[in-house]
Amino acid sequence: MDAYLISICIIAGIYALLAIGLNIQYGETGLINFGHVAYFAIGAYASAILAGKGVPVPLAMVLAGLVAALGAIPIGLAALRLKEDYFAIVTLGFAEAVRIFVQQEDWLTNGVQGIASIPPLFDSSTAPGYQNHLFAAVIVSVVICAMVAVALLQRSTFGRILRAIRENEVAVTALGKRTASFKVKVLMFGSFLGGVAGAFYAHFISYISPEQFIALVTFYVWMSIILGGVGSMKGALIGSLALVILLEGSRFIGDFLPGVSDVQMAHLRLGIIGLVLVVFSLYRPQGIFGRLD
């Protein structure tokens, strides 16, 4: 039971990093990113490949985040020419393009077979039996650092300009601010966090394949910020935890419904998750920590 709870904590931390990255893009700047999973995948594959070539795992994870951040530049440039709804479609297409790339490029990613035996963050000689506990401590520390960084950003001039862009980009442009550079920077920052989350995922699961990086992951992250409250970093954290508890807790419904097949149970779980989201949208649209305005 202890190992299961630690695993829940680690997965929640991974989703929290993804949610913080998406929240700074949408909650602060108003950029609708439906392709966040692309940077999750880039970070996972980059870290797995680098670690497999002998790069120390911590360094590989940081480099994976930087690769993901660089991958956000073309999408950031696209944001300069597109309105919100068209930008959302482009990001969704970009995520699918990344998934197809890792699926087809066998020479780099091992294609549909995926990458196995990814080096762990801590080897068996480090605190035998407590590797996952250390992993959880590291990811919680990284999440706290990310929240502090975002809090400082929100209180800075940069953060105020981001919120101004969200509210009225035309007015910000009229005041002489180059909104383009701010959009690219915030996309890179959020993508860096997504890449680091992907690196944590790869080294925790120890196996990755293209099927793990579908669009549903992005919408799970959207659910977490909607549940927690758009624009709230506390909301991103609590929403991620609530999402993981909901996803994992729904696995045990079958224990109380005898005769329901696994296929039916999968559909039932999705229905329950969707119902919770609908109820929140109706009765708590601002989320747990969001402001009603």
What is the C-alpha to C-alpha distance for residues 62 and 22, in angstroms, rounded to an integer? 19
What is the C-alpha to C-alpha distance for residues 42 and 204, in angstroms, rounded to an integer? 16
DSSP string computed for 193-243: HHHHHHHHHHHHHS-B-GGGS-HHHHHHHHHHHHHH-TT-HHHHHHHHHHH
Per residue of the chain (293 residues), what is the pLDDT tens digit? 688 889 999 999 999 999 999 999 998 888 899 999 999 999 999 999 999 999 999 999 999 999 999 999 988 887 777 777 888 899 999 999 999 999 999 999 999 999 999 999 887 666 666 888 899 999 999 999 999 999 999 899 999 999 898 888 888 888 788 888 888 999 999 999 999 999 999 999 999 999 999 998 999 999 899 888 888 888 888 889 888 888 887 777 766 777 777 777 777 878 888 888 888 878 887 888 766 65
What is the pTM assigned to this prediction?
A: 0.91
3 state DSSP class of 115: strand
